[in-house]
């Protein structure tokens, strides 16, 4: 069986502030096969890499991300809260500056080696479908919506929302998609995902509580990317289940455990 791909969840986010350029460059230096990021829209419609709806946990700002313009978000500090910045504080702006998806794409394309990018769309209610529309338009500008096997950068779009996955498939049928799940969907029959979605994204808890799930998905021909695999016991479980991708905050540890 092939070794699973290792994806850095929000970058090497155990070591450095999540979703900062520094965390993603560290993940590439760690040897991760790919990078996971969340995207949502600023008030003026820019795709920004922020997990939470609100700014409070990961920046010195407050309130909704979607209520701020890109220029306003760009003035905030997204890094100093993280212990990985050390007592002397963040070494440079790559540790603190808001990351836009465009900046991340530029960094990935400049990496000079193959990188897979897993982009998860988040859904601030004010913007709904605009997230997928703007995402596909940006990826199209970068020539990333028609992936070829030898392309150095290969994008996959993920969501917990069936609607979002369906929108992406309608806008860019050749872009691979992942349906994320933290419960097995009621409609899942014999492990088949809808809409031509090839990849399932269960959380690691589901591997423990629903041991039938991964075999059913694989028997139906799907790949399985599991998140968030940080603990050694979870890694053992995911490897025993034969998953195709491991999404982790600690890519260096994961790769070391895999002997890579
Ligand atoms: O990679 C999937 C995982 O990121 C989904 O959960 O909350 O970390 O975006 P969350
Ligand atoms: Ca995510």
Q: Which residue has the higher pLDDT, 190 or 108?
A: 108
82 is catalytic: no
Least confident of 32-46, 49-63, 83-97: 83-97
pLDDT in tens, 117-134: 999 999 755 555 699 999
Output the CA–CA distances (angstroms, integers) from residue 52 to 4, 147, 230, in the order listed. Answer: 28, 29, 20
Dist. CA 81–CA 90, nearest whole Å:
9
Dist. CA 260–CA 258, nearest whole Å:
5
Given the DSSP bridges, would you call strands 245-248 and 223-227 parallel, antiparallel or unpaired?
A: parallel
Least confident of 32-41, 67-76, 79-88: 79-88
Domain count for the chain, please give it: 1
Beta strands, E only, 82-136: 115-121
Q: What residues line ligand 1, using a CB cutoff of 6 Å?
A: 9, 36, 38, 51, 120, 180, 201, 227, 247
At residue 205, φ and ψ (nearest 5 deg) are -60, -35
ipTM above 0.90, yes or no: yes
User: How much distance in Å is there from the Cα of 256 to the middle of ligand 2?
Assistant: 23
What's this model's pTM, rounded to 2 decimal places?
0.97
> Counting atoms of ligand 1 from 1, which one is nearest the CA of 38?
9
pLDDT in tens, 69-80: 999 999 999 999
pLDDT value, residue 222: 96
Q: Is the pLDDT of residue 196 over 90?
A: no
Q: Is the pLDDT of residue 191 over 90?
A: no
pLDDT value, residue 170: 94
pLDDT in tens, 214-254: 999 999 999 999 999 999 999 999 999 999 999 999 999 99
Nearest to 229 by CA among 241, 215, 217: 241
- 24's CB contacts (< 8 A; 6+ apart) are 8, 11, 12, 35, 37, 99, 104, 107, 108
User: How much distance in Å is there from the Cα of 88 to the middle of ligand 1?
Assistant: 30
pLDDT value, residue 194: 84
Catalytic residue among 9, 82, 222, 253: 9
> Counting atoms of ligand 1 from 1, which one is nearest the CA of 122?
9
**Sorting pLDDT into bands at 50, 70 and 90, what band is 187?**
confident
Dist. CA 165–CA 128, nearest whole Å:
13
CB-CB contact of 122 with 106 (8 Å)? no
CB-CB contact of 69 with 75 (8 Å)? no
pLDDT in tens, 130-179: 999 999 999 999 999 999 888 999 999 999 998 899 999 999 999 999 99
CB-CB contact of 178 with 203 (8 Å)? no
User: How much distance in Å is there from the Cα of 166 to the middle of ligand 2?
Assistant: 18
CB-CB contact of 201 with 178 (8 Å)? yes
Mean pLDDT of all residues belonging to the chain: 94
Across residues 58-81, what is the average pLDDT? Answer: 97
CB-CB contact of 229 with 205 (8 Å)? no
Dist. CA 46–CA 74, nearest whole Å:
11
Among 38, 122, 179, 238, which residue has the most ligand 1 atoms within 8 Å of its CB, making it the best to mutate?
38
Q: What is the CA radius of gyration of the chain?
A: 18
User: What is the distance, to the nearest Å, from the Cα of residue 157 to the centroid of all Cα atoms in its chain?
Assistant: 8
Nearest to 232 by CA among 213, 204, 260: 204
9 is catalytic: yes
Q: Is the pLDDT of residue 106 over 90?
A: yes
Which CATH number fits the domain that encloses residue 53? Answer: 3.20.20.190
Q: Which residue has the higher pLDDT, 188 or 210?
A: 210
pLDDT value, residue 159: 95
Half-sphere exposure of residue 159: CA atoms within 13 angstroms, side-chain side: 22
Angle made by CA atoms 189, 190, 191, in degrees to the nearest 5: 90
Dist. CA 205–CA 207, nearest whole Å:
5
User: How much distance in Å is there from the Cα of 120 to the middle of ligand 2?
Assistant: 5
pLDDT value, residue 125: 53
Catalytic residue among 51, 82, 95, 253: 51
pLDDT value, residue 129: 62
- Per cent of the chain over pLDDT 70 is 97
Residue 169 domain boundaries: 5-257
């Amino acid at each position: 069986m092939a070794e699973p791909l290792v994806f850095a969840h929000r970058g090497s986010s155990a070591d450095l502030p999540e979703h900062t350029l520094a965390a993603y460059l560290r993940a590439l230096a760690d040897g991760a096969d790919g990078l996971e990021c969340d995207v949502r829209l600023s008030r003026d419609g820019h795709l920004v890499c922020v997990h939470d709806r609100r700014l409070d946990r990961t920046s010195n700002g407050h309130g909704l991300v979607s209520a701020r313009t890109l220029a306003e978000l760009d003035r905030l500090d997204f890094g100093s809260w993280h212990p990985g910045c050390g007592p002397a504080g963040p070494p440079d702006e790559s540790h603190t500056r808001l990351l836009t998806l465009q900046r991340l794409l530029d960094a990935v394309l400049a990496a000079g080696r193959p990188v897979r990018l897993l982009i998860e769309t988040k859904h601030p209610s004010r913007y709904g479908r605009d997230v997928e529309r703007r995402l596909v338009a940006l990826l199209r500008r970068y020539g990333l919506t028609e992936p070829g096997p030898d392309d150095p950068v290969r994008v996959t779009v993920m969501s917990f929302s069936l609607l979002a996955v369906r929108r992406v498939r309608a806008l860019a049928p050749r872009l691979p998609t992942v349906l994320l799940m933290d419960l097995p969907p009621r409609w899942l029959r014999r492990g088949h995902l809808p809409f031509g979605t090839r990849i399932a994204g269960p959380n690691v808890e589901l591997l423990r509580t629903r041991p039938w799930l991964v075999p059913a998905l694989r028997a139906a021909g799907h790949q399985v990317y599991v998140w968030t695999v940080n603990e050694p016991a979870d890694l053992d479980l995911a490897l025993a289940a034969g998953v195709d991708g491991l999404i982790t905050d600690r890519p260096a540890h994961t790769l070391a455990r895999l002997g890579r």
